[in-house]
Structure 1
């Protein structure tokens, strides 16, 4: 199993970075994990801005040379792990900018007759590890589960990725947030995951 870890937080001295380290630690102790790569979008200085003009056309995004490295990384991986905070009920703009550019037509999906396109990323799986200041049930009770619906239904299922697991950790800025227990939960999951 090959893992691509996509880390989206602008600070390495943070709880999110500690979650990343626990994913790496658990994965390195798992004999089923053959290899892993880390893509740190902020450290990479990834440009999340979409540009469409005479030189950069939307229909050509799947062949844009500036995104070739990211397309290759994504295709290489069996499992993609996203680690990010939930801000304003959704992932950071940096991560959404990555998705906007990478998940282009003829790379992530192909239009066909009918209501839905054909997802081209079938066979891959995703894990979302997200943190938030508010309580864990806030997205479910207050936002009608918008975060999970956005990520699973509107994004991953659309491109053919059906296996999506979520770790949504709330109260992460509270002294009573059980941070150690949650970090251990993520570490143990990746230490034992089989596919």
Structure 2
């Protein structure tokens, strides 16, 4: 299995980065994972701003040479892991800008007759490791699970990815947030995951 980890947080001394380190450590100890790539969107200087004009058209995004490296990473990966905080009930704008530009028509999906498109990323799986300041049940009870619905239904299912797992950790700024246990849980998962 080849695994691509996409990290979206600007601080390398943060809890988010500690989760990234546990994902990487567990993956390196997992004999099922043959290839591992990490894409740090902030370190990469990724530009999340969509640009369309007479020279750059939306319908051509799947061929844009600026994003070829990133399309190759997604194509190569069997499993894509996203590590990010939840801000205002959703992923950071940097990550959404990456998704807007990479999960494009004729690369991630193809329009066809009918209500839903053909997902072109079938067979891949996704894991989302996210942290938030608020309580663990806040997204479910207050936001009707908007974060998970956005990521799973509106994005991943749309492009053909049916296997989606969430680690959604709340109370991460609290001294009672059980950060060590949650970091260990993520490490154990990636050390053993088989597909």
What's the TM-score bracket when you normalise by the shorter of the two chains? over 0.9
Q: Aligned partners of 2:82, 2:103: CA distance in 1, in Å?
A: 15
Q: Aligned partners of 1:48, 1:61: CA distance in 2, in Å?
A: 14
Q: Aligned partners of 2:194, 2:46: CA distance in 1, in Å?
A: 31
Per the normalisation by structure 1, the TM-score is 1.00
Q: Aligned partners of 2:27, 2:95: CA distance in 1, in Å?
A: 22
1:161 partner SS: coil
Q: Aligned partners of 1:95, 1:59: CA distance in 2, in Å?
A: 21
Q: Aligned partners of 2:105, 2:192: CA distance in 1, in Å?
A: 35
Is 1:155 the equivalent of 2:158?
no
What is residue 83 of structure 1 aligned with on the other side?
83
Q: Which runs of structure 2 are paired with 1:94-109 in the superposition (5 Å)? A: 94-109=94-109
Q: Aligned partners of 2:190, 2:124: CA distance in 1, in Å?
A: 16
What is residue 45 of structure 1 aligned with on the other side?
45
**Could you list the per-position Cα deviations for residues 6-61 of structure 1 after superposition, in whole angstroms to 9, with x for gaps in the alignment?**
00001001000000000010011111110100000000000000000011000000
Offset of 1:143 from its aligned partner?
0.0
Extract unaligned runs of 5+ from structure 2: none
Q: Aligned partners of 1:60, 1:151: CA distance in 2, in Å?
A: 24
**Could you list the per-position Cα deviations for residues 157-189 of structure 1 after superposition, in whole angstroms to 9, with x for gaps in the alignment?**
000000000000000000000000000000000
Offset of 1:95 from its aligned partner?
0.1
What is residue 117 of structure 2 aligned with on the other side?
117
Q: Aligned partners of 2:31, 2:60: CA distance in 1, in Å?
A: 40
What is residue 72 of structure 1 aligned with on the other side?
72
What is residue 34 of structure 2 aligned with on the other side?
34
**Could you list the per-position Cα deviations for residues 55-80 of structure 1 after superposition, in whole angstroms to 9, with x for gaps in the alignment?**
10000000000000000000000000
Q: Aligned partners of 1:29, 1:4: CA distance in 2, in Å?
A: 16
Q: Aligned partners of 1:146, 1:166: CA distance in 2, in Å?
A: 13
What is residue 128 of structure 2 aligned with on the other side?
128
1:73 partner SS: helix
Q: Aligned partners of 1:26, 1:59: CA distance in 2, in Å?
A: 39
The alignment's C-alpha RMSD in Å is: 0.3
**Could you list the per-position Cα deviations for residues 94-124 of structure 1 after superposition, in whole angstroms to 9, with x for gaps in the alignment?**
0000000001100000000000000000000
